[in-house]
Chain A
Amino acid sequence: MDRKYRLAVGTLLVLAWIFNAAGAAADKVYIDIDAPGFQQFPVAICDFQIKTGDPSKESVDLSDSVRRYLDLTGIFRVLDKKSFLEGVEPGSPEIIRFSDWSVIGADFLLRGNLTVRGKDVFAESRLYDVTRGQMLFEKKYSGITDDLQSVALSIASDILLALTGDPGDFHTKIAFVIKKKSSSDIFTMNYDASDVKNLTNDHSIVAAPRWSPDGRYFAYTSYKNGRPMVFLRHLKTGKEKILASFSGLNLCGSFSPDSKKILLTLSKDGNEEIYVLDIETMNLRQLTHSFSIDVSPAWSPDGRKIAFVSNRSGSPQIFVMEADGNNVKRITFEGNYNTSPSWSPRGGRIAYEGLINRKYQIFSVDDEGNNLIQLTFDDADNEYPSWSPSGRQIVFHSRQNARSRICIMNANGMNFRILKESGDFLVMPAWSPRSEQK
């Protein structure tokens, strides 16, 4: 039943998209949010007006959800609705005094209305550019009262698409590890920290959780068989197979962009080296050849390069090599402990953790080793960065004394937010790819 509804919502959304009057606005990036000095979009979200029937709980819920989702993206400053000057006059939504909105600091304005018929809801929303006095889009949505969140997500996603050219990270999950004393397990949660679920429940040791870019598989290292082995889980069926169980260390690396191969760190020949494994044929090929530690490989989104950690120059540093193992080049030179490389899905930049003033902080650098930026500065240890699919946000774990957190920030280090906090260790977050729209 639920699925049928979702399918119907999906179809309607697609139709709404095709017939979208202002669809052209999405073709060009309205504002370059990656430009230096980008300020958050100040946006006013009006409560949805009820077209038929009494003002209901649904209209407030829907607008509150849109506000919350926009706030999560880190690129909006959602204005407090108490500051709104304009009284909402039912029946005259077309007449907007833009000056009333610009005076309270709103650059963008979302207005809409809602019709509730039994369990069905129909929403219309319009996004305006306040400073130019223009409508950017007008769209229709449908859903059910029990799942207003989906409608809110779609509206927030459309606003993001109209203003940035990218639908954002709304339909994503974050995997992370909860570590208690001597055992740990992998969990997943939605992008807004809701719906926390066990992915493993072995009370063993787990490490290196990785999503396949096609969203179908999940790979990780677990000690559940008594020693570290790499497992591959098919997410829909839950079926697992062992990818690597050689003697010594078997550590999960990262999937290739086509999800067909996976990078691994193996010590089967007495020394940690990086290998590439074809998941279907199980054909294994060695990529690094050095007497040092080579670990934590990360594939570039175009599949041509691999970033990894090596202590071949004495301390752990980030290196980049061609996907066939050739042309190894060191890209970090500041500090003597740089690890956990994560490649931006939009290419070009690599986030990693580095030790500075006795604290681990998140940095990013381009794949040639230039344009180094420090992203976190607080008094905590901030580690294990993982990019969102839009490449606009980074999730990482943060620990200060007994407080352990999973946090998100914008790719430029702004707008730090705590996603989840605990007395147990919350570590190793990994951002999923976008799930197919329901």
Chain B
Amino acid sequence: MKKHLTVIGLFLILAFSLTIFSGCAEKKAVVKDEAIQEQKVAAAQEAAPAAVTADDEAARKAKEAADREAALKEQAAKDEAARREAARAAWAKKNAEALVELSLQNIYFDYDKSAIRPDAREILKANAEIFTKNSSAKIVVEGHCDERGTAEYNMALGERRAQEAKQYLVNLGIDASRIETISYGKERPLDNRSTEEAWAQNRRAQFLLK
């Protein structure tokens, strides 16, 4: 009786494990890529009629290697082209930004003054048009001073110049929340000389898109 049960048990285990293995094999087959299967079939067809000579075997291997190499080369060329395209696009984007910023002109101020001069009004209008066209970008207005006088007072004066320019842009319809001001006082001159000409260049507001 005991022996009988053991035999039945062993049989059951065998049957069970067989089911599992066959199940696994089935799943693997389903997962297999169609392409790979096709390749295998092609390879089998190619290999089947051919006489199995050493020369043929070598030629086949050489061809395979050449094909592989060609495929790699093609892929590399594709990658390179994509890279170039990305770089070109980035360059174009950057260049476009640079072009926009180039057309953003500085405005200039009188000594120890932050009032917008008449000659600055047209420039501010032109800048406002660019800001309107690039409506998603933030705007930074930098205020600068000439080298004369106290660093601290000049930081305040530079801020004042930036604020006046900002207010003018807001009056032209630019959303105030887009505009950020920053004063560099006399710390970032455009022209390092100590001449009237240099000072006039340095008393300015500069505009950036961000």
- Chain A residues in contact with chain B, CB under 8 A? 179, 182, 184, 205, 207-208, 221, 227-228, 247-249, 251, 265, 267, 270-272, 293, 295-296, 309, 311, 315-316, 337, 339-340, 353, 355, 360, 383-384, 427-428
Contact = CB atoms under 8 A, between A and B. Distances in A.
A293 B156 contact: yes
Interface string B147-183: 0011111011101100100000000000000001111
Contacts of A179: 187
Given A184-B187, A228-B183, A337-B112, A251 B150 contact: no
A55 to B, nearest CB: 52
B200 to A, nearest CB: 17
Given A184-B187, A270-B163, A271-B163, A295 B156 contact: yes
29 contacts: A205-B187, A207-B152, A207-B155, A207-B185, A221-B155, A228-B182, A228-B183, A247-B180, A248-B181, A249-B156, A249-B159, A251-B152, A251-B156, A265-B152, A267-B181, A272-B156, A293-B156, A293-B157, A293-B160, A295-B153, A295-B156, A296-B150, A296-B153, A311-B112, A316-B112, A337-B112, A337-B149, A339-B150, A427-B151
For the complex of A and B, the 4 pairs showing the least CB-CB separation, nearest first, are A339-B150, A249-B159, A295-B156, A293-B156
A309 B183 CA distance: 18
Contacts of B180: 247
A295 B152 contact: yes
Contacts of A427: 151
A254 to B, nearest CB: 11
A309 B157 CA distance: 12
Contacts, number: 80
B61 interface: no
A316 B150 CA distance: 10
Contact of B159 (A267, A309, A339): A267
Contacts of B159: 248-249, 267, 272
Interface residues of B, number: 20
A247 B166 CA distance: 13
B152 A339 contact: yes
B187 A339 contact: no
B125 interface: no
B209 to A, nearest CB: 16
Given A207-B152, A339-B152, A182 B160 contact: no
Contact of A251 (B155, B160, B181, B182): B155
B121 interface: no
B73 interface: no
Contact of A309 (B153, B184, B185): B153
Interface in B99-137: 112
Contacts of A270: 163
B187 to A, nearest CB: 5
B84 interface: no
A295 B187 CA distance: 17
B188 interface: yes
A314 B66 CA distance: 84
Candidate in A221, A267, A383 with the most chain B CB atoms within 10 angstroms: A267
Contacts of A428: 151
A406 B151 CA distance: 16
Given A179-B187, A228-B183, A316-B153, 19 more contacts: A182-B187, A208-B151, A228-B182, A248-B159, A248-B163, A267-B163, A271-B163, A293-B157, A295-B152, A296-B150, A309-B153, A311-B112, A316-B112, A340-B150, A340-B152, A353-B150, A360-B149, A383-B150, A427-B151
